[in-house]
């Protein structure tokens, strides 16, 4: 992460006695606190309480959670360990049901465990190799984000004013970022950009996290109230809208932080290009449309309180969905590590997903030789 040696999610120590470290994003921007995690229960709690957030970062945390689950398992056979990991996966996946990256990462670790069991890899090698694959998932996230940045900067003009929602940067990923990764890459290329940062109620990820990141990276920006986005676009002060996503359906419908739909709708009305920026693991081709994406509902105090201060009448009824769904017709395109997908999304998203999975399979073939070695 810029100006620090710490990623948002990283392993500290050796394979046998290490621990998962994560930045407590709830304490930002006032302090940078690193929290150690040595059990699956701790990781699940941190995901639920949004100590760690952002689909890619949650995915990496889930992969390390599976590795820690293997380390803590009392199983003495490969079959028993795989059974234990199946239960760990179910518990981790339930911690943030909208973020498909989490399910993707835990499935990848469980698949490796089952494969090693099938090939009769010595049981004493399992845990170290599962951790190695968790490391690979984290490193691949950074490579993917860099590629998203390179592709996405093509939609950012010189001197562009960019509207950004929520936080999609180094805190929401292992490092660099998705939509903010596009912004960082554009800034690195000297495009003289400026960013309008939505505060992003109710948890204020824009005000607390994105503003903190951009200040540290010296990217010009202004923080605005969420409801200012419409006026900015109406006044021709926005050239492009960029945001991330927690899940993208096969037709291009996009689930992202609550408030995204309203921004995309406003962009469409004002002829402002709107792009979601996502890694291909976020694309869920098993979901036909946004109507099938589960939407997490969170605690009422996120709306009734700012920090510890109550701003609503005691006992006020609250509806607090964490995400909304932007229909694909309001998106200009979807930026991935494989390129920019344009309508019809049913075709372009599948092409990007297939291309990415072929790349992953090729890399997997190279790694599997060492993973399936019996020495």
The answer to whether 226 and 200 are in contact (CB under 8 A) is yes
Q: Give the residue from 8, 252, 270 showing the smallest Cα distance to 145.
A: 8
Cα atoms found within 13 Å of the Cα of residue 292, Cβ hemisphere only: 12
What the block records as the tokens of 176 is: 């660099």
% helix / strand / coil in the chain, to the nearest 5?
45, 15, 35
Q: Give the residue from 2, 361, 367 showing the smallest Cα distance to 173.
A: 2
DSSP state of 321: B
What the block records as the tokens of 86 is: 């199946």
Task: Tell me how far apart the alpha carbons of residues 269 and 54 are, in angstroms, rounded to a whole number.
Answer: 28
Q: What angle do CA 270, 274, 278 make, to 5 degrees?
A: 165
What the block records as the tokens of 50 is: 């949004």
84 counts as catalytic: no
Cα atoms found within 13 Å of the Cα of residue 288, Cβ hemisphere only: 1
Of the residues 239, 246, 284, 324, only one is catalytic, namely 246
Instruction: Give strand ranges (E) for 101-170.
Output: 161-164
**Helix (H/G/I), strand (E/B), else coil: 297:** strand
The answer to whether 246 and 256 are in contact (CB under 8 A) is yes
Instruction: Give strand ranges (E) for the chain.
Output: 9-12, 19-23, 34-37, 161-164, 194-198, 221-224, 240-243, 247-249, 254-257, 274-277, 283-284, 305-306, 309-310, 323-326, 333-336, 339-341
Task: Tell me how far apart the alpha carbons of residues 359 and 93 are, in angstroms, rounded to a whole number.
Answer: 25
**Helix (H/G/I), strand (E/B), else coil: 165:** coil
Only one residue has tokens 């691949």, namely 140
- 145-173 exposure pattern, b = at least 16 Cβ within 10 A, e = fewer: bbbbbbbbbebbbeebbbbbbbbbbbbbb
Active site amino acids:
246
């Amino acid at each position: 992460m810029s100006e620090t040696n710490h990623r948002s999610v990283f392993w500290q120590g050796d394979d046998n006695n290490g621990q998962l470290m994560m930045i407590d994003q709830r304490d930002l921007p006032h302090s940078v606190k690193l929290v150690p995690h040595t059990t699956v229960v701790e990781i699940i709690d941190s995901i639920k309480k949004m100590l760690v957030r952002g689909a890619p970062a949650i995915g990496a945390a889930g992969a390390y959670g599976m590795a820690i689950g293997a380390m803590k398992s009392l199983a003495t056979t490969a079959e028993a360990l795989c059974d234990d990991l199946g239960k760990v996966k179910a518990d981790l996946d339930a911690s943030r049901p909208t973020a498909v990256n989490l399910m993707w990462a835990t499935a990848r670790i469980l698949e490796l465990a089952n494969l090693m069991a099938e090939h009769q890899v010595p049981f004493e090698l399992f845990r170290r190799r599962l951790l190695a694959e968790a490391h690979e998932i984290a490193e691949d996230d950074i490579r993917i984000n860099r590629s998203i940045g390179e592709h996405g900067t093509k939609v950012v003009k010189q001197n562009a004013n960019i509207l950004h929602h929520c936080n999609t940067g180094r805190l929401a990923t292992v490092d660099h970022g998705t939509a903010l990764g596009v912004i960082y890459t554009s800034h690195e290329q000297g495009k003289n950009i400026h960013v309008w940062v939505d505060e992003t109620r109710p948890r204020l990820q824009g005000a607390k996290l994105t503003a903190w990141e951009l200040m540290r990276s010296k990217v010009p920006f202004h923080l605005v109230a969420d409801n200012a986005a419409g006026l900015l676009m109406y006044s021709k002060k926005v050239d492009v809208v960029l945001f991330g996503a927690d899940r993208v359906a096969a037709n291009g419908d996009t689930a992202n932080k609550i408030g995204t739909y309203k921004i995309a709708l406003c962009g469409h009305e004002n002829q402002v290009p709107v792009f979601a920026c996502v890694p291909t693991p976020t694309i869920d081709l098993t979901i036909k449309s946004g109507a099938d994406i589960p939407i997490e509902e969170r605690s009422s105090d996120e709306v009734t309180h700012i920090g510890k201060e109550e701003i609503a009448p005691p006992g006020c009824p609250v509806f607090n969905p964490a995400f909304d769904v932007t229909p694909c017709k309001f998106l200009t395109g979807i930026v991935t590590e494989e390129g920019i997908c344009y309508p019809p999304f049913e075709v372009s998203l599948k092409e990007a997903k297939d291309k990415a999975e072929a790349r992953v399979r090729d890399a997997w073939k190279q790694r599997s030789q060492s993973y399936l070695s019996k020495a």
